[in-house]
C-alpha cells in the first residue's frame, strides 16, 4: 500500500479544483445569495417542528384513544347480572325473545372493543420516531456519521476520495488481469477473480466524473476496494492512509442532487466522501 | 444413494459445457446444443448477407451458415490460426456454425455453481451471457446461444 501522494501538475490541480467546485455546487445549490439561504434554511426547521408537534398531538390523541371506554348511559346491562337470566320453564315465548334481544346487545359491544385498543401498538412507534429526529445532531449526515468515524483516502486520476471504513470489504492489490464481460458500459472494467469469487470492478473515474474523459484502464490502476461485502469494487491508482473525521468536518449534502453517491466533501483534506450504501444501491439499480 | 442425496442432485443438476476461447476469455456453451467441432475450412461468403454472417460451409452435403462470433460479441477481429474452430450448434431448430479462436474441453458444472452477472447497460450483447463460473482457477463465461440473435435474425438465417 503506497503512502505517497499523487504527482501534482498544474493541469490536474485545475481539473480537480473545478471538480471540487462542482461537487460543492451540487451539495449546496441554494448558495446563491444570503436571502435565499435564509429562506431555505428556515423552512425545514419550521417543517420539522410542525411535524414533531403534529406527531406529539397524534401521540396524545392516540394515547387518549387507548383509555378504556365507559359504556353509554343507555347501554344495556351485562349478561352476568342475575336479572337477565332466562327462566324457560315459567316464561312465555314473547318474553323470552325480548330477553334474548336485550341480552344480545352487550355481547355486540364486547366484540367491537379490540378495534378501539389497536392504537396502543402505534403509539410507541410515533414516540420513538419523534425521539430519533430529536436525537440526531447532524440531520444531513448518515447514521454512521453521527459520531467520529474513520475513512480511507484514495486517489482516482488526481481526485482524492474517501470511504467510510465501516462500509469497506477488502482492499485488493491487483495481481492478474480482469476478465472482460461483453456488452457492459464503459465504466464496467470487468470481473476480478479472488478466492473463487468474482468482484465486478468499476472504473471510478468514468463512473463519478464521466465528463472529464479519464480512463483508468489506460492510466493504470493498482488496487480495487470492495464495497461492503457486495460483488462491487472501485478501481483506484493509489491508496493513502486512514483518517478519523468528526461529523462537523464534513460539509454534508443538503439535498438529493445528481450525485447520489456523494455524502459530502471534506475541505480539510480536499476530498469527496462517498456514500457507499447509496453507491451500491445505484449500481444495483443499474443492475436491475 | 440416500434420499437426501437424490433430492440434492435433482435440485442441483450437473450440466456439461463445451468451453472455447475468444479474445483471451473462456466461454462455455451447453453440450446439448453442440453437434460437432470442425477444423477451420474455407467459408464461402454470401453476397447480401448480414455483417455477422461470415458465409456458408458444406457439411456432408448440407449447407451450414457460419456466424462471426467476434463481431457478434463486439470484439476486435483477428486472423485465423491452426487453433481456429467452427462449432456446429443446434438452437432454435436451426443448425449454424460459430467461429471461435479455439475449443478447449468439456467441463461439468453444478447449477448452483453458476453466478449471475450484473445486467448493467443497455447493450444487447450483455444478454448473451447466461452467467459465470469459476473453473480451474479461471472465469468461465456461459453463453446463452438462443439470445445470441433475435427471432428475426434467426428467421433471416433460415433463408440461406
> Does A179 contact B25 at a Cβ distance shorter than 8 Å?
yes
pLDDT at position B7 over 80 = no
Q: Given this model, what pLDDT does residue B75 score?
A: 93
A115-143 pLDDT per residue, tens: 555 555 555 555 555 555 556 777 778 88
Residues of B in contact with A181 (CB under 8 A): 117, 126, 129, 132, 141
Confirm if A169 and A228 have CB atoms less than 8 A apart: yes
Report CA A216 to chain centroid distance, whole Å: 30
Q: Given this model, what pLDDT does residue A11 score?
A: 61
Q: Given this model, what pLDDT does residue A80 score?
A: 46
Of residues A114 and B143, more confidence is placed in: B143
Same domain assignment for residues A274 and A228 = yes
User: Parallel, antiparallel, or unpaired: how do β-strands A159-164 and A271-274 relate?
Assistant: parallel
Q: Which grid cell sits at B114?
A: 453458476
A99: how many CB neighbours lie within 10 A of its CB? 16
Same domain assignment for residues A83 and A150 = no
Same domain assignment for residues A147 and A70 = no
Confidence band for A283, pLDDT divided at 50, 70 and 90: confident
- CATH number for the domain including A158? 2.40.50.180
> Does A193 contact B23 at a Cβ distance shorter than 8 Å?
no
Number of domains in chain A: 2
> Does B128 contact A188 at a Cβ distance shorter than 8 Å?
no
**Per-residue pLDDT averaged across B76-99, rounded?**
93
Which of helix, strand or coil describes residue A243?
Answer: strand
CATH placement of domain B11-158: 2.40.50.180
Chain A nearest-CA distance from B31, in A, is 21
> Per this entry, what is the length of chain B?
160
Confirm if B88 and B36 have CB atoms less than 8 A apart: yes
Identify the domain containing residue A77 by its residue range: 66-135
Of A109, A135, A161, which residue sits at a domain end? A135
**Candidates A177, A182, A196, A199, partner chain B, best to mutate (most B CBs within 10 A):** A182
Confirm if B144 and B129 have CB atoms less than 8 A apart: yes
Give, as one character, the DSSP assignment of residue A210: G
Q: Given this model, what pLDDT does residue A268 score?
A: 92
pLDDT at position A264 over 80 = yes
Chain A nearest-CA distance from B20, in A, is 15
Give, as one character, the DSSP assignment of residue A5: P
pLDDT at position A91 over 90 = no
Average predicted confidence (pLDDT) for chain A? 72
* Distance from C-alpha of B122 to C-alpha of A49, rounded to nearest angstrom: 45
User: Parallel, antiparallel, or unpaired: how do β-strands B25-30 and B138-143 relate?
Assistant: parallel
Of A111, A135, A159, which residue sits at a domain end? A135
Of A86, A111, A135, which residue sits at a domain end? A135
Chain B nearest-CA distance from A164, in A, is 24
Same domain assignment for residues A173 and A221 = yes
Same domain assignment for residues A254 and A171 = yes
| Chain A residues 181-240 within an 8 A CB cutoff of chain B | 181-185, 188, 191, 193, 196-198, 200, 231-232
Of residues A141 and B52, more confidence is placed in: B52
Q: Given this model, what pLDDT does residue A5 score?
A: 45
**Candidates B21, B100, B118, B125, partner chain A, best to mutate (most A CBs within 10 A):** B118
Confidence band for A179, pLDDT divided at 50, 70 and 90: very high
CB of A179 less than 8 A from some CB of B: yes
Average predicted confidence (pLDDT) for chain B? 90
Of residues A44 and A211, more confidence is placed in: A211
Confidence band for A96, pLDDT divided at 50, 70 and 90: low
Residues of B in contact with A193 (CB under 8 A): 134, 137-139
A142: how many CB neighbours lie within 10 A of its CB? 19
pLDDT at position B121 over 50 = yes
Residues of A in contact with B130 (CB under 8 A): none
Chain A residue nearest residue B135, CA to CA: A196
Same domain assignment for residues A150 and A245 = yes
pLDDT at position A90 over 70 = no
Chain B residue nearest residue A284, CA to CA: B118
Least confident of A242-246, B24-28, B128-132, B156-160: B156-160
* Distance from C-alpha of A232 to C-alpha of A235, rounded to nearest angstrom: 10
**Domain extent listing, chain B:** 11-158
Same domain assignment for residues A151 and A274 = yes
Quick check: is A27 in a domain? no
Q: Given this model, what pLDDT does residue A123 score?
A: 53
Of residues A21 and B99, more confidence is placed in: B99
A54: how many CB neighbours lie within 10 A of its CB? 12
Confidence band for A22, pLDDT divided at 50, 70 and 90: confident
Amino acid at each position: 500500500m503506497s503512502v505517497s501522494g499523487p504527482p501534482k501538475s498544474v493541469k490536474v490541480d485545475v481539473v480537480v479544483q473545478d471538480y471540487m467546485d462542482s461537487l460543492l455546487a451540487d451539495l449546496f445549490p441554494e448558495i446563491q445569495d444570503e436571502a435565499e439561504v435564509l429562506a431555505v434554511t428556515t423552512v425545514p426547521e419550521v417543517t420539522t417542528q410542525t411535524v414533531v408537534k403534529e406527531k406529539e398531538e397524534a401521540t396524545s390523541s392516540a394515547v387518549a384513544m387507548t383509555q378504556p371506554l365507559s359504556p353509554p348511559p343507555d347501554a344495556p346491562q351485562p349478561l352476568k347480572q342475575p336479572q337477565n337470566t332466562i327462566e324457560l320453564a315459567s316464561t312465555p315465548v314473547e318474553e323470552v325473545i325480548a330477553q334474548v334481544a336485550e341480552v344480545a346487545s352487550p355481547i355486540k359491544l364486547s366484540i367491537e372493543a379490540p378495534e378501539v385498543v389497536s392504537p396502543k401498538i402505534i403509539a410507541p412507534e410515533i414516540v420513538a420516531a419523534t425521539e430519533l429526529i430529536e436525537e440526531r445532531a447532524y440531520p444531513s449526515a448518515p447514521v454512521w456519521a453521527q459520531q467520529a468515524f474513520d475513512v480511507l483516502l484514495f486517489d482516482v486520476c488526481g481526485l482524492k476520495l474517501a470511504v467510510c471504513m465501516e462500509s469497506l470489504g477488502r482492499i485488493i492489490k491487483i495481481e492478474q488481469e480482469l476478465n472482460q464481460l461483453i456488452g457492459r458500459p464503459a465504466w464496467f472494467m470487468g470481473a476480478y477473480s479472488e478466492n473463487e469469487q468474482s468482484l465486478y470492478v468499476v472504473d471510478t473515474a468514468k463512473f463519478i466524473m464521466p465528463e472529464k474523459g479519464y480512463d483508468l484502464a489506460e492510466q493504470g490502476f493498482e488496487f480495487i476496494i470492495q464495497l461492503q461485502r457486495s460483488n462491487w469494487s472501485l478501481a483506484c491508482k493509489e491508496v493513502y492512509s486512514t483518517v478519523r473525521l468528526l461529523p462537523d468536518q464534513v460539509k454534508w449534502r443538503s439535498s438529493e442532487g445528481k450525485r447520489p453517491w456523494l455524502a459530502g466533501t471534506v475541505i480539510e483534506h480536499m476530498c469527496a466522501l462517498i456514500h457507499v450504501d447509496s453507491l451500491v444501491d445505484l449500481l444495483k439499480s443499474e443492475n436491475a | 444413494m440416500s434420499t437426501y442425496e437424490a433430492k440434492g442432485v435433482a435440485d442441483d443438476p450437473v450440466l456439461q459445457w463445451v468451453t472455447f476461447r475468444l479474445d483471451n476469455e473462456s466461454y462455455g456453451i451447453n453440450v446439448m446444443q453442440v453437434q460437432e467441432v470442425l477444423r477451420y475450412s474455407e467459408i464461402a461468403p454470401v453476397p447480401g448477407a448480414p455483417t455477422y454472417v461470415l458465409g456458408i460451409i458444406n457439411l456432408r452435403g448440407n449447407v451450414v451458415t457460419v456466424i462471426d462470433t467476434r463481431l457478434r460479441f463486439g470484439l476486435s477481429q483477428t486472423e485465423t490460426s491452426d487453433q481456429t474452430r467452427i462449432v456446429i450448434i443446434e438452437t432454435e431448430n436451426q443448425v449454424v456454425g460459430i467461429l471461435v479462436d479455439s475449443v478447449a474441453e468439456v467441463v461439468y458444472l453444478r447449477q448452483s455453481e453458476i453466478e449471475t452477472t450484473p445486467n448493467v447497460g443497455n447493450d444487447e450483447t450483455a444478454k448473451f451471457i447466461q452467467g459465470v463460473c469459476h473453473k480451474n482457477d479461471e472465469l468461465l463465461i456461459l453463453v446463452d446461444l438462443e439470445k445470441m440473435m433475435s427471432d428475426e435474425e434467426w428467421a433471416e438465417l433460415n433463408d440461406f
